[in-house]
Amino acid sequence: MEKLFFEDKLIFIIYFLIVAGYGYYIYRKKKKAVTDTHDFFLAEGSLTWWAIGASLIASNISAEQFIGMSGNGYSIGIAVAAYEWIAAVALIIVAVWFIPVYLKNKIFTMPQFLENRYNKTVSLIMAIFWLFLYIFVNLTSILYLGAVAINNLVGGSPDQFHMIVIALSIFAILITLGGMKVIGFTDVIQVTVLIIGGLATTYIALTLVSEKFGLGKDIVAGFNKLLEDAPDHFHMIFKKPDANSTQQEINNYLTIPGLLSYVAGIWIVNLNYWGCNQYITQRALGADLNTARKGILFAGFIKLLMPVIVMLPGIAAYVLYKNGSLQQEMITGSKDGAVIADNAYSAILGYLPHGLIGLSLAALTAAIVASLAGKANSISTIYTLDIYKKYINKEASEKKMVWTGRITILAAMVISIIFTWDDILGIGGEGGFTFIQKYTGFISPGVFAMFILGMFWKRTTGAAAVAGVLTGFILSVVFNVFAPSWFGPETILYTAYKNNAGVYEIPFHICMGLAFGFTMLVMIVMSIAGPKINPKSFEIDKGMFKVSPGTLAMIVITLLIISMLYVRFW
């Protein structure tokens, strides 16, 4: 850690001691977590709304956001904020319509939802799939990206990278073994550190811009200079490319395809992630409806702030590089001297004063460890409740299941360490954010269709659910990989554009929308052949979806803020 001074190390050690000490205090305060599965996996009835909201954000924000989204801010600008701001709207939908269905039907895991609504076959297939996805894609990529980011920040070597991998894993395990209550309440500290450290980085980024142009240390002047010097980076909606479009404009559209992105793609990404994902919904499934809703909406408020923390430093890095600064930092690791956008965040961090580097390191660590802990707990929950208890040891006691959950956590972390050690999966070569999107995005249309129809259409059948998952996956692969070469770059359904490699590509969000639409059609047609009301359909009444005045006020405020942001940056 040769780049860290005494002040940085002291701040980081204080952060670690506070999180570890508070986690131990929470664990000792309620020893019931040792033997009660609902408390261990769900913290049933003990998480407050602010702990639920903070835990949702802590689990969501990790190295791929800090590094990947900041890199996207450098490359394409504010349009990438759509992921965060539409997420806030998606969280409203989840709070009002999804969570009541889960809580009324006493759903604790997503495979349980599938078994109760469809059948054991669908549940088992998806439980196994989610375990593989969470361990080999999410957990491993979070650990790898986190270790790379921290190693770059402290100027480490390959040997130090391996030490960081071990340290992050141990830190996450210590928190996770205490159960969801420990995770939930320590996440409050993690999010606080994340926000403070993130805002400090943004402050430095804007003052660097201000100083570069002789405007003093003025963050407002720095932000206004970004607007003036990079106006193309402050548009939410990209126009459809034409014959005169540059390759950069085409690349932007491939990432966020203008208004078409808002027709289906970005909604599928967010609603599937926030509403049909054990890793996320688990935080709210142990609470009462009012507490769960407030916690989810609180997370939505924090999501509005995330672009300021993870995206603005990327735009600042773009302006600084464009005007002669950060030249070496932006090409670090490049074999041909080309700019690496994912270096944007670490390039800004290099200018932090002593002490703030330690704070930013703590913020980055908080994001990584919270995500690792949340993912490991979800892996443990699905394996223990949906596989071990149902198929391996049906007579297992509460205490036996809790210990099984803990062993599962250790096993999952060991596997992720093995695959991270020498980057066996090639995450570094593909790019972490791309790696995660690639393997989760192919299955999202089918999974989301299966959940949305299962919740709100009583006619949906189990056979249709299996067909939906398979159809969604196959069509995602077809549209993302084969369609341009099979059917040509221009059809009634899509327009493909040449990417940097000169290969025709359909924008990812459009691929998701097409796969989702055809999957819904297949499931509806198959279900029409079945009974008018599936015996396993959920009971739903309008009263489930009524919200309290306080909840309604939070929803209205969120929607007004988002509306103003889109009006300003359209």
List, in sequence order, every residue forming a beta bridge with 497; answer none if it has no partner: 505
Asked if residue 469 is part of any domain, the answer here is: no
Residue of higher predicted confidence among 127 and 284: 127
pLDDT value, residue 137: 83
Res. 288: pLDDT tops 50: yes
Asked if residue 244 is part of any domain, the answer here is: yes
Asked if residues 442 and 476 have their Cβ atoms less than 8 Å apart, the reply is yes
Interatomic CA distance for residues 432 and 441, integer angstroms = 14
pLDDT in tens, 351-381: 877 777 887 788 778 778 878 888 888 899 8
**Token duo for residue 533:** 């009301």
Name the pTM for this structure: 0.86
pLDDT value, residue 421: 86
Q: How many CB atoms lie within 10 A of CB 213?
A: 14
pLDDT value, residue 506: 92
Asked if residue 283 is part of any domain, the answer here is: yes
Mean residue pLDDT of the chain comes to 84
Per-residue pLDDT band at 46 (split at 50, 70, 90) = low
Q: Mark residue 423 as left, alpha or beta (left: phi above 0; alpha: psi -120 to 50; beta: remaining).
A: left
pLDDT value, residue 541: 80
Number of structural domains, the chain? 1
Which amino acid is present at 37? T
pLDDT in tens, 401-458: 888 988 999 999 999 999 888 877 777 655 555 666 667 778 889 999 999 999 999 9
pLDDT in tens, 297-325: 999 999 999 898 888 998 998 888 888 78
pLDDT in tens, 3-45: 667 888 888 888 878 887 877 777 777 654 445 566 666 555 5
Mean pLDDT of 531-550: 86
Asked if residue 423 is part of any domain, the answer here is: yes
Nearest to 544 by CA among 247, 13, 105, 30: 105
Q: In which domain, by residue range, is 203 found? A: 6-19+36-441+540-569
Which amino acid is present at 435? F
Handedness of CA 221, 347, 326, 11 (dihedral sign): positive
Per-residue pLDDT band at 198 (split at 50, 70, 90) = confident
Most confidently modeled range among 213-217, 254-258, 279-283, 428-432: 254-258
pLDDT value, residue 76: 87
Res. 527: pLDDT tops 90: yes
pLDDT value, residue 33: 45
Asked if residue 460 is part of any domain, the answer here is: no
Q: The CATH number of the domain where 231 resides is what?
A: 1.20.1730.10
* Intra-chain end-to-end CA distance of the chain, in Å: 43
Q: How many CB atoms lie within 10 A of CB 219?
A: 15
pLDDT value, residue 348: 82
Asked if residue 324 is part of any domain, the answer here is: yes
Interatomic CA distance for residues 491 and 502, integer angstroms = 19
Q: Which DSSP string do the residues of 493-538 spell out, in sequence order?
A: S-B-EE-TTS-EE--HHHHHHHHHHHHHHHHHHHHHTS-SS-TTPP
Asked if residue 488 is part of any domain, the answer here is: no
**Token duo for residue 129:** 């799939």
Interatomic CA distance for residues 194 and 4, integer angstroms = 19
Asked if residue 452 is part of any domain, the answer here is: no
Nearest to 372 by CA among 410, 342, 339, 340: 410
Cβ partners under 8 Å of residue 318, min gap 6? 73, 74, 75, 77, 230, 233, 344
pLDDT value, residue 1: 45
Residue of higher predicted confidence among 116 and 190: 116
pLDDT in tens, 498-525: 988 888 999 989 999 999 999 999 999 9
Interatomic CA distance for residues 420 and 412, integer angstroms = 12
Mean pLDDT of 252-271: 87
Res. 58: pLDDT tops 60: yes
